Amino acid sequence: MERRTIGAAALGVGAVGLGCMPMSWAYSGSQRRGDRSLRTVHAALDAGANLLDTADMYGPFTNELLLGRVLKERRADAFVSTKCGLLVGDGHVVANGRPGYVRRACDASLRRLQTDVIDLYQLHRADPEVPVEETWGAMADLVRAGKVRALGLCAVGARSTRRGAPDGGYEGTIRQLERIQQVFPVSAVEAELSVWSQEALVRLLPWCEARGVGFLAAMPLGSGYLTGTLTPGGGFEADDPRARHPRFTAEMMAANQPLVAGLRRVAARHGEDVTPAQVALAWVLSRGPHVIPIPGAKRERWAVENARAAGLALDGADLAEIAALPAPRGSWD
């Protein structure tokens, strides 16, 4: 697989990664299987998708424990990205950016992951009660201590402001990035980016490109919609957030079918084995050499299919057709 670089730390990873959250958190709880998830992680590593994206809150904690079982055998094959800064309570999530908590959280993640070092440690959310520079400083101390190789920030704010926002809704995140960059280099930013969610292209992605910061594209398959495998009106399990999502109502899923149809047309030009999901990932990859999509997957076949998208090159006609697709229907809030 093509290799790409994670920002200031110049760490090489496969061009497509693996989002591990669906194995332990959100998205159809009845479909989670520990042994199947382990096979999925191994299949992704075998295919060159070595960036494994997780967080201590996924589960909580169980996602890191799952990956630890793989890393115990294959640490040299993997690039581990995990996150801190969010605590899960009864039905709610709260931020904690206190330096002492950050240090304890890192040590706990290292134990669960069964590793001596985390390749990329990300701040999941800034704590409004703690200056973000203090939290970032504590994370920088972890790099100096040899527990972490590089630092990243998960971008927030686009969903609540995206309608009509000239900056794509990420201006608050950019202000945070400017502040913490003065404390310690930012190696990566993780934010949503897909064919039907392009807000990051306005300001956030150019900010990263200008500063040599890697961009981890979260939800590059539109929470599964762009794969073309979801049936409008098919329904979701009660614990699946898509069951309450305005863009995943039967009406809106049907209204957005022209997007999937366009991806299918492009896929057909590249061969009968090429899928809409691979085209959607190839589009994300085409946004720049510093962009690394991290599609989530719970099954081996999806992880391997996603990894193979790294070998799909879209030409000008493909990109023009995708650019001409209708804007997605339905609120994202």
* Nearest residue to 19 via CA among 1, 37, 33: 37
Q: Is 58 tagged catalytic?
A: yes
Catalytic member of 27, 58, 170, 225: 58
Looking up tokens 């199947």 gives 36
3-state SS class at 3:
strand
Question: Quick one: the chain helix, strand, coil %, rounded to 5?
Answer: 45, 15, 40
All residues at 6 or more sequence positions from 23 whose CB lies less than 8 Å from its CB, including other chains? 32, 37, 40, 63, 66, 298
Residues paired with 12 in a beta bridge: 5
Q: Are strands 51-53 and 79-84 parallel, antiparallel or unpaired?
A: parallel
3-state SS class at 90:
coil
Residues paired with 151 in a beta bridge: 121
Catalytically active residues are 58
